[in-house]
Structure 1
Amino acid sequence: MRNDIQFKTEDGVTLRGWHYLPEGVTGKVPTIVMAHGFSAVKEMYLDRFAEAFAAAGMASIVYDNRNFGASDGEPRQEIDPWRQVRDYRDAITFAETLEQTDPERIGIWGSSYSGAHVLVVAAFDRRVKCVVSQVPLASGSRNFRRLIRADYIGGVRDMFDTDRRERFKGAPPAMISVVDEDPSASSALPTPDSWVWFTETSKARAPAWRNEVTLRSIEMFSEYEPGSYIHRISPTPLLMVIAQDDVLAVTDLALEAYEHALEPKKIVMLRGGHFDAYVNDFEESSTSAVEWFRQHLQRS
């Protein structure tokens, strides 16, 4: 069963999404809080994961990140990772207010950029009793240098500085495409599989998705180091679902971060690339998450 929800963040922004409940289950149930990754909206397959959790007897709070989709927030299309981290914590607080939520059995799930956020949230927020991080960004600065050719980085830094000066004068934030068919063109996610997944998924499932973000979003991405908090998650159980051919949130950086996590932890390796976790490898990615949450959130 799915109901529309909305709630306010601590700074007054209204976030909107869905509350999934398992059919035929009464009383308080484990609840998973979840949002999407870089620029994506909830219609881009988050419903499939929430449905899998509901079928296993767990509720979900699924919401659009601020400035995107159905949620409020300005400037539109801007991604501030630290505001999104705080919004996860506000979503947990909202979940606690619902009569169906067992506040002692709250888990968090994230994928790609939100896969990074849940690492940070779980490191700080002990209300979280279990975490699943799927194809996560581990290091913004190092991943940034994997996605952008070394001889282009100086020019990108100049773009950041110019945008900052123009905003100081009162100009609106500069914008950049999320994806481009030409991987050598300026875009936030310059990989061929990013172009295919976002364009195909938006046409099929999320026509309101917009192919743009603020340039400042890329600058904040390059400064974000979620993997540096991973050793602080313990004793909260951590599952990392990593794609062996991930060229976007690159595989080796995620594996390196996992090595710094303390127990209890588990790793699942998917066969495909970054976006296969939502489609071709969905059965494995969702089943692994369901089993981890069942193990650590459901009562025997």
Structure 2
Amino acid sequence: MWFDFLNTGDSEGQPRDEVAHYGRLQDWVNAIASTTSLSEVDAQRVGIWGTSLGGRDVLVVAGIERRLKAVVSQTPLIRWTAAAGARMAGYGDDMRRYQQDLAADRESRALGKEPAYVTFLGNYHGQITLQSYQPTALVDVTPLMELISPTPLLFILAEEDYLPGQRDAFAAANEPKSMVTISGNHFSPYTISKQNAIEATRE
């Protein structure tokens, strides 16, 4: 089963193409409830998978949703710091410009103007709002990792991923858990060949 998050694709919500961080978590819970209610679905075999920001989402959801029988988190964003947000939004290390633009966009939106957008690949019409990169209260999901057990957890990590805290988060999780590593960077899971995937090493 698949679904579009709030504000994206076929789902409702404004502004369009904005990552609604807390709304995404509720979307996951609603999707699980909907899926397990279907007569053709074995409710004892429902798992979730997420990548990057979605990889963070599924870790949080797995810690609170006991109906899940497995969770797979691929190259997850663990620590949503201002520095990480700036880098993902294309600002590099220019924190001053990043924070100025965020503040200017918030003021502009408060006055009823259109949000600022950042070019992005994926189901966001090639763009997402600048505010999507604003850190939230879920700055670091590491303290939540121990809540996932006894749900089996699989981490898929890229050896050269620039996002911090992934291995620390894995270490903080209780058993049962396993990790698969692949070569490349944060975006390599979307581009590596099938053969490379087959040759991924288990730790």
- The answer, yes or no, to whether TM exceeds 0.5 is yes
Equivalent residue number for residue 27 of structure 2: 87
Partner of 1:140, secondary structure, is: coil
Equivalent residue number for residue 269 of structure 1: 181
CA–CA distance in 1 between the matches of 2:127 and 2:173?
34
Q: 1:284 to 1:86 in 2, by over 3 A?
A: farther
1:146 Cα deviation (Å)?
A: 5.7
Of 141, 152, 160, the match for 1:245: 160
1:175 Cα deviation (Å)?
A: 1.8
Contact 1:108 1:128 in 2 (8 A): yes
Letter in 1 for 2:47: G
Equivalent residue number for residue 160 of structure 1: 102
Q: 1:69 to 1:285 in 2, by over 3 A?
A: farther
Q: Which moved more, 1:217-226 or 1:117-126?
A: 217-226
Structure 2: 5+ residue stretches without partners: none
Q: Across the two proteins, how many residue pairs are aligned to each other?
A: 197
**CA radius of gyration, larger in:** 1
Equivalent residue number for residue 73 of structure 1: 13
Equivalent residue number for residue 136 of structure 1: 76
Of 214, 230, 233, the match for 2:148: 233
**Structure 2 matches for 1:277-292, cutoff 5 A?**
277-282=189-194
CA–CA distance in 2 between the matches of 1:285 and 1:90?
31
Q: 1:86 to 1:255 in 2, by over 3 A?
A: same
1:88 Cα deviation (Å)?
A: 0.6
Contact 1:64 1:71 in 2 (8 A): yes
CA–CA distance in 1 between the matches of 2:194 and 2:185?
12
1:282 Cα deviation (Å)?
A: 4.6
Partner of 1:84, secondary structure, is: helix
1:214 matched to 2:129? The reply is yes
Partner of 2:29, secondary structure, is: helix
CA–CA distance in 1 between the matches of 2:70 and 2:124?
30
Equivalent residue number for residue 173 of structure 1: 115
Q: 1:99 to 1:125 in 2, by over 3 A?
A: same
Contact 2:7 2:20 in 1 (8 A): no
Partner of 2:15, secondary structure, is: coil
CA–CA distance in 1 between the matches of 2:60 and 2:198?
21
Contact 1:270 1:281 in 2 (8 A): no
1:95 Cα deviation (Å)?
A: 0.2
Letter in 1 for 2:129: T
CA–CA distance in 2 between the matches of 1:270 and 1:134?
10
Contact 1:88 1:121 in 2 (8 A): yes
Partner of 1:241, secondary structure, is: strand
Q: 1:91 to 1:285 in 2, by over 3 A?
A: farther
1:112 matched to 2:52? The reply is yes
1:71 Cα deviation (Å)?
A: 2.8
TM-score, scaled to structure 1: 0.59
Contact 2:86 2:98 in 1 (8 A): no
Partner of 2:187, secondary structure, is: helix
Contact 2:86 2:133 in 1 (8 A): no
Can you list the C-alpha shifts for 1:9-58, whole angstroms capped at 9, x where unaligned? xxxxxxxxxxxxxxxxxxxxxxxxxxxxxxxxxxxxxxxxxxxxxxxxxx
Contact 1:237 1:265 in 2 (8 A): yes
Q: 1:68 to 1:145 in 2, by over 3 A?
A: closer
Structure 1: 5+ residue stretches without partners: 1-60, 179-197, 203-207, 289-300
